[in-house]
Structure 1
Amino acid sequence: MQKNYYTLLSLSILSALYSSSSLANIDDLRQRCLAGVPQISGEVVQGDPNDQPVYIEADKANVVNPSRAVYNGEVDFKQGNRHLQADEVEVTQSGDGDNTQRYAYVRGGFDYKDDLIKINGDNAKVHLNSKDTDITNGNYQLVGRQGRGTAETSEIREGYRLFKNATFTSCLPDDNAWQIDASEMKQYVQEEYAEMWHARFKVAGVPVFYTPYLQLPLGDRRRSGLLIPSAGSSSRDGYWYAQPIYWNIAPNYDATFTPKYMSDRGWQMNGEFRYLNALGEGKLAAEYLGKDRYNEYTGSDEDRKRHLFYWAHNAKLWDNWRLNVDYTKVSDKRYFSDFDSDYGSSTDGYATQYARLSYYQPNWNFAVSIKKFQVFDDVDIGPYRALPQIDFNYYKNGLANGWADFKLFAQAVHFDNDSSSMPTAWRYHVEPSINVPFSNRYGSLNIETKLYATHYQQKAGTGEDANTQGSVNRVLPQVKVDLQTVLASKETLFKGYMQTIEPHVQYLYRPYKDQSNIGSKQHSSYLGLGYDSALLQQDYYSLFRDRRYSGLDRIASANQFTLGGTTRFYDKNSEERFNLSLGQIIYLNNSRIDDTTENSTTGRSSSWALESNWKLNDKWNWKGSYQYDTRLDATSLMNSTLEYNPERNNLVQLNYRYASKEYINQNLTSSVNRYNQDIQQVGAVVAWEVADNWAVVGRYYHDVALNKPVEQYAGVQYNSCCWAVGVGVRRYLVNENAKRQYSGEKDTLYDHGIGVTFELRGLGGNDHRSGIVRMLDKGMLPYIKSPEL
C-alpha cells in the first residue's frame, strides 16, 4: 500500500511528484543521477551517536586550559557516522558534573557529513552534549537520495532541520531546472517530509508560482496529499484534467479521490479505498458522472447518470477458510467504451460479479459461491446466474497398494435468469474418477475412468420453452488413456544442439446422450447450450482436454484419438531455443450433444493445431500459432509475433492475427451479432530509449479486411534527474462501432486525443524510469511480451 504524498496547495504548480517502485534494471540515467548524490562510505554505525568515541586530528592543537582548546590546520573530527573537516575548531567547556556544557565553534569554512546530510558553510556552533548545530551560509545535500539547497541560517536538531531564507531542489549540482525558495523550511528527518513557508516555485530561475505553505516528500513514507495529475484532450471528452488526492488514513488503510473534469461531459468523481486487516485485503472503487453531456446524448430522455462500482477482496479466515470477491457493475453496456477505467475494459465483453467462500483440508475442500455476469453485447436475454453454487472435492492417492489415485468432484447449483421467459433449474452433479499412473525413465501412461452423473430439476419459463422437462437424469461413463514419452538425441541437423521428441497420444471414449432436454433448446440467443456451457476455443494443448464445452450442461460424446507431439532444441548451455508442437484429433465417431448437425463435429478429424516458439538469440524471439480447418480446407486461426529486444525495455514487435468468420461464429455462445467477415489485423510496436534522457513509443494496428486502422499511438518522454515530461497522441476505433464494422457497414467512428504528464523527480525515492512501460500499457491492445522459452 505504498504511495507518496503531496499537499493540496502544490496543485497550482502541477507538482507531479508521485514515484512508483523502481525498475529492477538500473539504466544509465539512474547511475548518472545517483553518481551526483553523496553516499555514505562503509557500513552505517548503529546505536546512539553520542555514545560513540570521538577522534580528532589536526596539524596543531593548543590547549589553553582545561575549559578551552583550539585546533588549527586540516582539523578532522569523527564520531560514529559524523565526519567534520574544518580549518579551525575551538572547543569550550563550562560548568561541573552533570551541568557540564561543551561547545565547538567552527570558523573559516567547514565540510560536514553523516548518514543523512552533507553540509558546508562559513561558520558553525555545535553543542557537543546534544549535537545541536547552528550554521550560517550553509549549502546542504541529502545523502543517498536527491535533494539539495542553501540556507542563510540552519538549525540542525535531532528530529528536524530548520532553514531560514532557504532553497530546495532535487536537481543535481549545477542543474537549476527548478527550485523552491522559502523564507523558512523545516525538514523532518524521521517522517521524511519538508514544510515550507512563503514558498516560491522557480523554473530556470524564473518565479512561476507562490504559496504561503507547501509540503513535499523527502522519502518513501506515505502521507496525505496530491498524487501525479494527468491532463489531455479527446474528441469525445473534450479537454480533461484529473487530479488524484491521496488520504493516508492509517498504516493499513488508504484512499484516493480523483475528481476529473471533462469539458464535453462534465465532472466525474472517482474514488478508491484499500484496506488490509484481520479479515483480509481488498479494494473498493467507484466512479460517478451525474449527467453525461456528450453531444450524442444531448436532448435524450434517458437517465445519463454513468457509474461504476468495484470490489475485490481476498481473505484467509482462521486457518482453513478463504473468502474471495470479484465484483464489477456498471451503469450501462457502453461504459467501458466511453471511459478509460482501471477496473474493466471494453475488450472484455462482460463484467464479473463473483463471491466464493471455501474451506480446505489436506484431502478435501468445499466452496459456496455466487456468480453473475453483466454482458455488454446487445442481447435481449442475458446469461444465467449461479446463485448459489456449492462445490466439493475429495482426493486420495495411493489406493490399491499405491497403484491408483481417486478423485471425487460434486456440485449443486441453482440457475436463474433475469428473463421470466427462460427456464430455471437446480443441477446436482457427482463426478468420481480413478486414475492408474505408470511411469519410468522413458515416459508415462495414465489410464483414467470417470463417471458423470447429473440430475436436473427444471422449472419452465413463460417463453417458447414452456414445455421444458421437469426432471432430467444423465449418466455418462468415460475412459481415457494418455501416453507420453520423451526421446532425446544429440545427433541433430544443427551442430551443438540437443533435440527432444515428445510424442503424445490420447484415446478418449464417452458414449452419446441426447442433452437437448437440458436448459433452453429453442431460444435463438443460446444455440441450445444449456445454463453455463460454451464451446471452448481450440489450441494445441486444448486438444488433450476431456470436453469440447465448458460447464457441465453439454458433455459431448467422444470416440477419438488425439495425436500430437512436441520437439525441442537445447543449446550447449541446456537453454531451450526452439520448440514446435503439432496435433490433431481423429474422430472414430462424430462428437455430438443432440441430434442436430449444428452441435456435432463433421468430418473425421479436427483442425490441425500448431504452436511454436523460437528464441533466435538473446535479442530476437518469435512465436506463432496456426490452425487449419480440415472440414473447410482453409485456415481458421493464425497468430504470429516477432520481437527484437536488445536491452532493457527497448523493443520492436511485429504482430499478425487472423480469425476466419466461421471460427469466430462457431465459438460464439450467442447467435446474435454474428460476424460476416474475417478478422485480419497487422500491428507494430516500437519502444526505444533513444538516449539517457529520451524515450519514444509508437503503436499501430491495422485491420486488413476493413483496410482501416484500429489504433494509432505515438508517445515521447523526456527524462532528467529531477524532472520529466511526456506527451502521448492516440487515435483509436471506438469499440461501440465494432459490431457495425464487422457487419459490413463502412462507417467507423474514431476517438482521438492527446495526453500530457509532468513530474518532478527525486522527491519520493530514486526512481528514474524512462516511461516506456507506462506508455506500452496504454491502449485497446496493450503490449504483451513474448514468452521466454
Structure 2
Amino acid sequence: MNKKYTFISLSILTALYSQTSLADLHTQCLVGVPKFSGEVVSGDPNDLPVYIEADDAEINQPTSAIYKGNADLKQGNRHLLADSVEVKQIGEGTALQRFAYVRGGFDYKDEQINLLGQNADFNLDSKDGHVSDADYQLVGRQGRGKAQEIELRNAIRVMKNATFTSCLPNDNAWAVDASEIRQYIKEEYAEMWHARFKVQGVPVFYTPYLQLPIGNRRRSGLLIPSAGSSSRDGYWYSQPIYWNIAPNYDATITPKYMSHRGWQLNGEFRYLTPLGEGKIAGEYLGRDRYDEYYGENRKRHLFYWNHNSAFLENWRLNIDYTRVSDKRYFTDFTSDYGSSTDGYANQYARIAYYQPHYNFAISARQFQIFDEVDIGPYRALPQIDFNYYKNDLANGWLDFKLFSQAVRFDNDSSLMPTAWRFHIEPSLATAMSNKYGSLNIETKLYATHYQQKKGKGDGAEEVEKRVNRVIPQIKVDLQTVLARDTTFLKDYTQTFEPRAQYLYRPYRNQSNIGSSRTNDYLGYGYDSSLVQQDYYSLFRDRRYSGLDRIASANQVTLGGTTRFYDRHSMERFNFSAGQTYYLTDSRIDSNPANSTQRSSSSWALESNWKINDNWNWHGSYQYDTQLKKTSLANTSIEYNPERNNLIQFNYRYASQAYIDQNLGRSANAYNQDIKQLGLVAAWEVTDNWAVVGKYYQDLALKKTVEQYFGVQYNSCCWAVGVGARRYVTSRPNQDPDEVVYDNSIGVTFELRGLGTNDHQSGIQDMLEKGKLPYIKAYSL
C-alpha cells in the first residue's frame, strides 16, 4: 500500500533506495551515494568505549584533553575526523558525562549520515549534538543538503535554514529550502516550516508547513499530479491527496478539473482487517457541462467495491461490485474501475464455507449493461451452490462428485418470466494410467427442475409453470505422451500428445425453458450463452455456458499437441490441433438455427514458438469446414532483446459469421469482419530515455482504431513523461458512417530517489495505457 509522493507534497526525505530498480540507472545513481564502511555495531552506542588518536594531545587528568592534528575519534558506528577535538569529563560514577568540542572543521560519519561542518559540540554519552555550517549526505540512499545549524538529539534532528535534494552532487535540478526541518527518526516523519521548492534555483512553490515521511512508513500528503488536454474533456488537471488513516487503512482523494466538463471528485479507500481486505472507490461529477452529452442526468458517478476475506478458518467472502450512473460513463471517462470495451459492469457477492469433502456458497449476481437493448440479462438472486467430493471409492477405482444448485432469476423487463431453477449433477469417474498414457471414463447426470412464472407486463409470453429435464452423459477421454530425440534437430526432444474424446448426451427439447426473447441478449435461457471456441474448448463437456441450454452430444473430438524441448529442458515450440466430429447433430430444441447441422466443428489450431532468446511467436487459427473459410485468427511476433525493450506485430481477425454466432445480436452493429493490425514498440533508448508507441489499424473499416506515443526522461532525482493518444470513441446521435476520435495529451512529473519504485523507465506504465493494452500473447 505504498505511494509515491510528488513535487508538491515534497516527500523528499523518504528515499530508501529500491534494490529491484533498473540496474544501470540504479548503479549510476549509487555512484554519488556514500556507503557505510565497516561492520555496523549493534547495541546502544552510548555504552561503547571511545577511541581517540591524534598527532598531539594535551591531557589534564581526569577533567579534559585536547587532541590536535589529524584527530580521529571513534565510538561504535560514529567516526569523527577533525583538526582539533577537546574532550571534557564532568562528574563521577553514574553521573559521569563526556563532551567533545570540535573547532576549525570536521568530517563526521555514521550508518545514517555523513556530515561536513565547521564547528560541532557532541555529548559522547547520548546522541545529542550541535553542528554549525553543515553539509550533509544520507548514507545508502539519495539525499543531501546543507544546514546553518543542526541539533542532533536522541530521536530528533532539528535543522535550521536547511536545504534538501535527492539529486547527486553537482546536480541542482531541484531542491527544497526550509527555515526549519524536524526529523523524527523512530516515527519516520519530518516537519518543515516555510518550505520553498526550487527548480534550478528558482522558487516555484511555497508552503508554510509540511509533514513528510522519512522512511518506509506511509504518510499523508499530496501525490503525483497529472495534467493534459483532450478533445473530449478539454484541459484537465488532477491532484491526488493521500491520507494515511492508520497502518491498515488509507485513502486517496483526487479532485480533477476538466475545462469542458467541470470538477470531478474521485476517491479510493483501502482497508486490511482480520475480516478481509478490500477497496471502495467512487467518482462523482455534479454537473457534466460537455455540450455533446445529451443525457437527461447531468450527474455522472461511479461506485466500486472489491472485497476478499477469509474468516472463522473455513469461511470466504468475495464482493465485486461496480455501478455507474449511465450507459455512456466508461465511454466518456477514463477510469481504473471499468472500460467501455467490457460492455457491462459486474455486480457480484459470494459467501462460501469449505470443508475437505464438501463446500457450499450463497451468491448474488447481476449485470449493468451498456448496450442499448430493450431486454437485458437476468440477475441471479439468490444462488445457492453445494459441492461434495469423495475419491478412492471401490478400492480406489472410482471418484464421486456432486454439484447442486438452487437459483432464482429475475429481470428488469416486465415482459420476461421469473424462475427458480433447482439443479443436481452427480458424477462418477475412473482413471486408469500407465507409462504409455491414461484413460478417463466419466458418467454424469443432469437433473433440473424449473418453476417459472409469466411476466407481469402486457404482451408477456406464456411459459410452462413447471419443467423437468433429466439428461445422462458419458465421456471417455484417452490421452498419451510419447517422447523421442529428434533426428533433424540436434539435442532436441520432441513429444507427441495425442488425445481422443468421445462424448454422448441424448437430446432433450429445451424450448420451454425461459422465453424466446432471451435470445436477444447474452444468448439463451436465463444464464446461458455460446462458448467461444479454441483448441482447449473442444474438449469441454458443453457448447453453452450456464445450465439452461445443455445441447445433445454424440461426438468424437480428436486433437493433439507436439512440443520441442532443448537440451536444457526448455520448451521452444508447441503446436496443437483439434476438431470435433458430430455423429449426430447437436441440438437444444426444434429450431434448426440452434443445431450444429454439420458433420464437424471448425479446425482449431494453436502454436507458440520461442525462436531464440530474443524472438517469440504466437498464433491461433480456426477454419470453418462448413463455410469453407477462416472464422477466427490471431498472430503476434515479438522481439524482446533485453529488459523491457520490445517490438510486437499483431493481427486479429474474426469473421462476421463468427461474431454473430458467438457474441450475439449486441455485436451485430459491426456488420462486417474484424481485421485489426497492430504495432507495439517500447524501447529504453538510453538509461535516461524511454519511448513507447502503439498503432492499431482496422483494415476492414480502413480506419485507425488507436494511436499512442509516449516518451519519458528519467534521471536520478526526477522524471518527466509526455503521452499523446488518439482513439475511436462514440457520441450520441452519431451518424452510422461517422468515425469519432478523441485526441488527448498528458504530462506527468515525478521526483526520484523518494520511493521503492524509483529509477524504473516508465515503460510498463505507458504500455498499459489505452483501450488496447499490450498483451504478451505467447505462453512459452
Please tell me the TM-score bracket, short chain as reference: over 0.9
> 8 Å contact 2:270–2:279 — kept in the other structure?
yes
Aligned in 2, Cα 1:665/1:740: closer, same or farther, shift over 3 Å? Answer: farther
Matched, 1:387 2:378: no
One-letter amino acid of the counterpart of residue 275, structure 1: Y
- Establish whether residue 303 from structure 1 lines up as the match of residue 297 from structure 2: yes
Preserved contact between residue 217 and residue 763 of structure 1 (Cα < 8 Å): no
Structure 1 counterpart of 2:133: 137
Q: Choose which of 746, 754, 757 in structure 1 pairs with 2:737.
A: 746
Q: Which of 53, 72, 77 is the equivalent residue of 1:76?
A: 72
The Cα shift of 1:634 comes to 0.3
Residue in 1 aligned with 2:253?
257
Deviation for aligned residue 1:76? 2.6
1:360 corresponding residue in structure 2: 354
- Structure 1 residues 428 and 293: CA distance shift in structure 2, 3 A: same
Offset at 1:115?
1.5
Displacement of 1:785: 1.9
Matches within 5 A, 1:499-514: 499-514=494-509
The aligned counterpart of 1:228 is 224
After TM superposition, the structure 1 = structure 2 runs for residues 276-287 of structure 1, keeping only pairs within 5 Å, are 276-287=272-283
For residues 707-762 of structure 1, the C-alpha deviation after alignment (integer angstroms, 9 at most, x for no partner) is: 1100011111111111111111111100568x979xxx431000001100011111
- CA offsets 1:92-148 (integer angstroms, 9 cap, x no match): 112233332211112232211112111111221111121311111111011121110
DSSP 3-state at the match of 2:711: strand
1:41-440 pair list within 5 angstroms: 41-297=37-293, 302-440=296-434
* Offset at residue 202 of structure 1 (A): 1.8
C-alpha contact (below 8 Å) 1:464/1:522 kept by paired residues: no
Deviation, structure 1 residue 526 = 4.5
Q: Which whole-Å CA distance do the structure 2 matches of 1:355 and 1:766 have between them?
A: 34
Mapped partners of 2:60, 2:273: distance in 1: 64
Q: What's the TM-score once normalised by structure 2's chain length?
A: 0.96
When residues 266 and 740 of structure 1 are mapped into structure 2, their CA distance, relative to the original with a 3 A threshold, is closer
Q: Which amino acid aligns with 1:768?
A: H
Q: Does residue 1:518 correspond to 2:505, yes or no? A: no
TM-score (norm 1): 0.95
Give the residue type in structure 2 aligned to 1:339: F
Deviations 1:408-465 (A, max 9, x none): 0000000000111101110000000000001111111100000000011111124655
Q: CA deviation at 1:65?
A: 2.3
Deviation at 1:215, TM superposition (A): 3.8
Evaluate the alpha carbon distance shift between residue 696 and residue 27 of structure 1 in structure 2; reply closer, same or farther with a 3 A threshold: same
> Who is 2:729 aligned against?
734
Mean Cα displacement is larger for which, 108-117 or 350-359?
Answer: 108-117
Deviation of 1:597 (Å): 1.4
2:777 paired with 1:783: no
**Alpha-carbon spacing, 1:784–1:304, altered in 2? closer, same or farther (3 Å):** same
| SS at structure 2 position matched to 1:667 | helix
Structure 1: how far apart are the matches of 2:12 and 2:52? Answer: 45
Amino acid corresponding to residue 617 of structure 1 in structure 2: N
Q: Report the Cα distance in structure 1 between the residues aligned to 2:265 and 2:12, rounded to whole angstroms.
A: 20
Contact kept? 1:17, 1:228, Cα under 8 Å: no
Q: Answer whether contact 1:524 1:671 (CA < 8 A) is retained.
A: no
Determine the C-alpha separation between the residues in 2 that align with 1:14 and 1:55.
40
Q: Any idea what the Cα deviations from partners look like across 1:765-786, whole Å, max 9, x if unmatched?
A: 4711111111111100001124
Counterpart in the other structure of 1:583: 578
Residue aligning to 1:2: 2
The alpha carbon displacement at 1:209 in A equals 2.9
Match of 1:647 among 637, 642, 660: 642
Write the distance in 1 (CA, Å) between the matches of 2:425 and 2:521: 26
| 2:218 partner SS | coil
Cα offset for 1:73? 3.1
What's the C-alpha RMSD, in Å, of the aligned pairs?
A: 2.1
In the alignment, the residues of structure 1 paired with residue 561 and residue 276 of structure 2 have an alpha-carbon distance, to the nearest angstrom, of 43
Q: Partners in 2 of 1:463 and 1:16 — Cα distance?
A: 68
Match of 2:534 among 536, 539, 547: 539
- For 2:473, the equivalent position in structure 1 comes to 478
Counterpart code for 1:579: N
Gaps of 5+ in 1: none
Would the aligned equivalents of 2:15 and 2:141 in 1 still touch at CA under 8 Å? no
Instruction: Select between 518-527 and 33-42 the one with higher mean Cα deviation.
Output: 518-527
SS class of match (1:255)? strand
CA deviation after TM superposition for structure 1 residue 177, in Å: 0.8
How far the C-alpha of 1:673 sits from its partner, in A, is 3.7
Shift of 1:220: 2.4
CA deviation profile, 1:602-639 (whole Å, cap 9, x unmatched): 22110000111100111111111100000100000011
1:515 deviates by 0.5
Q: Distance in 2 between matches of 1:527 and 1:67?
A: 92
Q: CA–CA distance in 2 between the matches of 1:478 and 1:25? A: 55
Say whether the 8 Å CA contact 2:383–2:406 is kept in structure 1: yes
**Alignment identity in percent?**
70
Aligned to 1:401, what secondary structure does the other structure show? coil
Report the Cα offset of residue 43 of structure 1.
4.2
Query: Which runs of 4 or more aligned residues in structure 1 lie more than 6 Å from their structure 2 counterparts after TM superposition?
Result: 13-21
Whether contact under 8 Å (2:461, 2:515) holds in the other structure is no
- After superposition, the Cα gap between the structure-2 partners of 1:466 and 1:198, relative to the gap in structure 1 and judged at 3 Å, is closer
Question: Which residue does the alignment assign to 2:555?
Answer: 560
Alpha-carbon contact 2:604-2:620 (below 8 Å) kept: yes
1:285-307 C-alpha deviation (Å, 9 max, x unpaired): 1111111111113xx57121111
The code of the aligned residue for 2:683 comes to: W
